[in-house]
Chains A and B, each alone.
Chain A
Amino acid sequence: MGERTVITGCGAVTSVAASAAETWSAAVAGATGVGPIEGFDASGFTCHLAAQVLGFHTESLGVTPRDARIMGLPGLMLLGSGREAMVQAGLRGATPGPDEIGIFAGMGMVDRAPEDLRAAVAVSRAPTGIDYERFFGDGYREIYPLWPLAMLNNVGFCLAALHLGVKGDNAVFSPGADAALLAVAEASAAVASGRAAAALAGGTSERVTADSLARAHLVGGWGEPAANCALGEGAAVLVIEAESMARARGATPRAVVAGWGFSHAACASDGFVAAMASALERAGPAPRPADAVVLHDERCRGAAGAEREAVVDVFGRQAEPMALLSSKEMLGHALAGGAAVDVVLAVHALDGGFVPRSLIQGAGGPQPPADGTPCGAAVRPRRIVVNAQSWSGACGCLILDAVE
């Protein structure tokens, strides 16, 4: 199975901050990025709240307007996160070279941008709506020619790789939250087997648009609008390396990628059980069973209960002292971006030695004191489990250990 793989760098762009470190500080401070949706009128939807990334300054990314337009917010966030992670890991020098660095990511779906089609629509307008004869005749030629590129899921990923200067082993998974954990697992396997000297792994959300909102509504049937149903925007990237290579290079491991497991089941609870069991088997024993679980905490489908049942199923009585965490209240449901940010939060918790109170979901473990100081099982976590699930029922589980 190869040697131990570690995380040596983190990067993130979220609705609360434009970096991983600041996102962590925001979590410690109990901030939230959820608010009324901006940029378009969402009053027709059941939920009017989202955790959007606003004011993300892309000029410093050094991307041409053309590329920025094609990448869109998801691709740009992936790029920003990737840069931060690479800098933190000290990966900007000559070795390892671009051919030896891999990149794996979970990406969401891409929604069409109406402005690309506007000219074609304008030219084909008729009193009845659209003159399709005109449109299919030559009206379509008014469509912005790079529109098809923006519509392909993987081009944003490829442009991010291009701008990061990464040319090695790669794969892009889609479209659910589990895709980010798949990316981390594949990146770990790639460096453990020597296919890559280092690998970037992460995920990015979709943009909050009328399209993505409509999709989430179709999946869930949300009912009462509340903060816990909000969609989110965000991305995160980690740098993963074999431990010996990291240390030889002088990089500081921040956490160990101990295990992973994936499963697909009709019943959510079964899926989580299988994924967690498989991940624990791969991770092997630890001095204590998991100290905390970052729940996927699915709120769009009313399936959160199934996940908690699965945790109890897998850990039995050992689940009682575990801290159950969720980033959904802070960051909304950011699909693959959310799962990747969950991994970043877990890394900071292991590295920093505590779990922010604002992430703890109540049941499970001693209640944190009112003044917000770290406590109980949240003190010095050594093993954290991260769960993710797609709306199609694919479950993923990642286990991270502290670096001893």
Chain B
Amino acid sequence: MTGYGMITPLGRNADETFARAAQGQSGIRPITSFDVRGLPCGIAGQVDDSWLDDAVATHRNGRLASRAVRLMLLAATEAAQAAALTDVEDRNRVAVAIGCHGENPSIEEILFLHRFTDGNGRWDAAGLAEAGGYDVQQFFRRKPDVAAALVAGTFDCRGPNLTLVSACAAGAQAIGEARRLIAEGSCDVALAGGCEATVDFVGLVGFSLLRALAERFASPATASRPFDRRRNGFVLAEGAGAMVLEELGHARVRGARLLGEVLGYGDSADAYRITDSRPDGEGAALAMRGALDDAGLPSAAVEYVNAHGTSTVQGDIAETRAIKEVFGTRAREVPVSSNKSMLGHTIAAAGAIEATLTLMGMERSVILPTINHEVPDPRCDLDFVPNVARRQPHRVALSNSFGFGGQNASLCLGCCDG
């Protein structure tokens, strides 16, 4: 990794997010951008709107870009600048891999279409066309590959261009796929990351209907409580994370700073149920072991696990079991923490943001905490770095992202000696 960047509910850039996270701050607040009165959950992790103005000001595409894409452009800009990406000469050898599934249409937009259908497959397309048809803005907002296309255009990346839509695992998959593209020689450099901006009524309604969100909490900041006994669902959030990955020789030749390394990537499909993950955590364990195999490392080498840790009742148990399976008797000695306790669940951006925070932590010898850890759950009985960050040098870590639908991704990350 030769550059990184992010914009999250905790900070407008990577250093800000990390600093606040190290202090155990929460980025979760009551939602004020739309009316949440009828919803069982009215909190989320949102990015300060004023930070997005930068995107409009400094990017020629900024004005056109929808919210998720602006977040992506900001994170990518920070990463590209840190990596001095413009120095790379052969732009055909610079790839882009983004985890993004597009944004939601608004309720008004969805219901507008309802005027032209009877709900039984019959459409009044003539009436629809006359009434203004399909909105161009909505078209671009919903399209998953706009972020990847605009990043490619903005940063002149002409190599392979991938959009991963694997929900909660997409960000991690983007980094994993980017690593593979470099390893197989399809490119020398890749801008990889993820973005998410679905904190809107449709997004909240969607997850509320599935009963996936936290509905009982003492305060917004304490609602996301992975591995804690009182957890009862996740908190939705938005944000973007990006990193510049580069082939080692290529980075050395151009004198790029070596900020960390993606040692390996593993992934699996649960093939169990859609929303319930395998209770024994087997799919997750498969992904973690895959990452270790890819890195050529034994589990004994891992000194920290950045958990997927969404704060759902069942998910946290399954992940605990998976970690125990992979680490065996050593499991309780490996610190495990969840950034989602502070950031909420940034879905497609999560894998990218959390992998970056993990690498930053190794750089700084700081392990970020799992906050809101007040009442331990005997079924989640590992060292979750409760509430307070820990100063501890560590060189190898795993970062987990387990998606809705059962796509599991795990990255093995390592420190660089510069």
The reply to whether A and B meet directly (CB within 8 Å) is: yes
Q: Identify the A interface with B (CB < 8 A).
A: 1, 39-45, 70, 98-99, 103, 107, 109, 112, 114-115, 117-118, 121, 129-130, 132, 135-138, 140-141, 143, 145-149, 151-155, 157-159, 161-162, 164-176, 178-179, 182, 186, 189, 193, 195, 209-211, 213-215, 217-218, 261-266, 270-271, 274, 278, 282, 390, 392-394
Q: Check A136/B274 contact, CB under 8 A, given A40-B125, A44-B129.
A: no
Known: A45-B129, A263-B159. A274 touches B92 (CB 8 A): yes
Q: Assess A40 versus B121: contact at CB under 8 Å? Given A99-B286, A109-B142, A167-B271.
A: yes
Q: Could you show 7 A-B contacts with beta carbons less than 8 Å apart?
A: A40-B117, A44-B125, A114-B113, A140-B201, A152-B405, A161-B271, A262-B186
A121, B111: Cβ atoms closer than 8 Å: yes
- A107 and B165 contact, Cβ closer than 8 Å, known pairs A43-B125, A136-B201, A154-B407: yes
A392 to chain B minimum Cβ distance, whole angstroms, is 4
A40 and B142 CA atoms in complex are apart in Å by 23
Residues B85-140 near A (CB distance < 8 A): 92, 95-96, 101-102, 104-105, 107-108, 110-111, 113-117, 119-130, 133-134, 136, 139
The 10 closest A-B pairs by CB, nearest first: A148-B206, A158-B405, A214-B134, A44-B125, A262-B160, A44-B126, A264-B161, A44-B129, A392-B149, A40-B123
Across the interface, which residues of B come within 8 angstroms of A121, CB to CB? 111, 114, 119
With contacts A1-B185, A159-B274, A167-B269 taken as known, whether A182 is within 8 angstroms of B162 at the C-beta atoms is yes
Q: How far is the CB of A102 from chain B (nearest CB, A)?
A: 9
B163→A118 contact, CB < 8 A: no
The interface on chain B, measured as residues whose beta carbon lies within 8 A of the other chain's beta carbons, has a size of 86
Given contacts A145-B210, A148-B210, A155-B274, are A264 and B159 in contact (CB under 8 A)? yes
Within 8 A of A (CB), among B149-205: 149, 152-153, 157-167, 170, 173, 177, 180, 184-186, 201, 205
Whole-angstrom distance between the Cβ of B135 and the nearest chain A Cβ: 9
Determine the distance from Cα of A214 to Cα of B116 in the docked complex, in whole angstroms: 14
Contact A109 B161 (CB under 8 A): no
Q: How far is the CA of A262 from the CA of B405 in the complex (A)?
A: 28
Partner of A218, one of B136, B158, B206: B136
Contact check, A210 vs B37: say whether CB atoms are below 8 A apart: no
B209 at the interface (CB under 8 A from A): yes
Provide the bound-state CA to CA distance between A195 and B160, in Å.
21
Taking CB atoms, residues of chain A closer than 8 Å to B92 are: 263, 274, 278
Of B113, B158, B268, the residue contacting A263 (CB under 8 A) is B158
In chain B between 273 and 323, which residues have their CB closer than 8 angstroms to a CB of chain A?
273-275, 283, 286, 290, 294
CA distance A43 to B122 in the complex (A): 12
Q: Is the CB of A151 within 8 A of B134?
A: no
> Would B124 and A41 count as touching, CB distance under 8 A?
yes
Closest residue to A274 on the B side, CB-wise? B92
Residues of B within 8 A of A (CB): 35, 37-38, 92, 95-96, 101-102, 104-105, 107-108, 110-111, 113-117, 119-130, 133-134, 136, 139, 142-146, 148-149, 152-153, 157-167, 170, 173, 177, 180, 184-186, 201, 205-207, 209-210, 267-275, 283, 286, 290, 294, 403-407
The answer, among B142, B163, B205, for a CB contact under 8 Å with A173, is: B163
Most chain A Cβ neighbours within 10 Å, of B101, B120, B145, B270: B145
Give the residue of A135, A162, A164, A266 whose beta carbon is less than 8 angstroms from that of B272: A162
Contact, CB under 8 Å: A172 / B165: yes
Question: CB-CB < 8 A to A145: which residues of B?
Answer: 209-210
A278 touches B186 (CB 8 A): yes
B164 contacts A171, C-beta separation under 8 Å: yes
Cβ 8 A contact of B167, one of A117, A147, A154, A170:
A154
Q: Are A154 and B166 in contact (CB under 8 A)?
A: yes
A114-B119, A175-B143 given as contacts; is B294 within 8 A of A195 (CB)? Answer: yes
Chain A residues within 8 Å of B407, by CB: 154, 158, 170, 172
Q: What is the CA–CA distance of A79 and B187 in the complex, to the nearest angstrom?
A: 32
A190 vs B153: C-alpha distance when bound (angstroms)? 29
Instruction: Please report the C-alpha to C-alpha distance between residue A21 and residue B209 in the assembled complex, in whole angstroms.
Output: 43
> When the two chains form their complex, are residues A171 and B267 in contact, meaning their CB atoms are under 8 A apart?
yes
Contact status B165-A153, CB under 8 Å: yes
Specify which chain B residues have a CB less than 8 angstroms from the CB of A182 in the assembled complex.
160, 162
Specify which of B116, B152, B158, B163 is in contact with A175 (CB 8 Å cutoff).
B163
Is B209 in contact with A70, judged by CB distance below 8 angstroms?
no
- Expressed in whole angstroms, the Cα–Cα distance for A29 and B203 within the complex equals 48
CB–CB A274/B290 < 8 A: no
Given A40-B121, A44-B127: A148 and B207 within 8 A (CB)?
yes
- Cα distance A137–B40 when bound, in Å? 11
B404 touches which of A109, A135, A152 (Cβ 8 Å): A152
Task: Write the nearest CB–CB distance from B380 to chain A, whole angstroms.
Answer: 25
- B134 near A215 with CB under 8 A, answer yes
By a CB distance below 8 angstroms, the chain A residues around B127 are 44
Cβ–Cβ contact A393 & B149, under 8 A: yes
A154 touches B405 (CB 8 A): yes
Q: What separation, in Å, do the CA atoms of A2 and B134 have in the docked complex? A: 47
Expressed in whole angstroms, the Cα–Cα distance for A157 and B148 within the complex equals: 21
Q: A41-B126, A114-B117, A218-B136 are in contact. List 10 more A-B contacts (CB 8 A).
A: A109-B102, A114-B119, A143-B209, A152-B405, A172-B165, A174-B101, A175-B143, A176-B145, A264-B161, A274-B92
CA distance A251 to B271 in the complex (A): 25
* Residue in A136, A165, A186 whose Cβ sees the most chain B Cβ within 10 Å: A136
How far apart sit A162 and B272, CA to CA, in the bound complex (Å)? 6
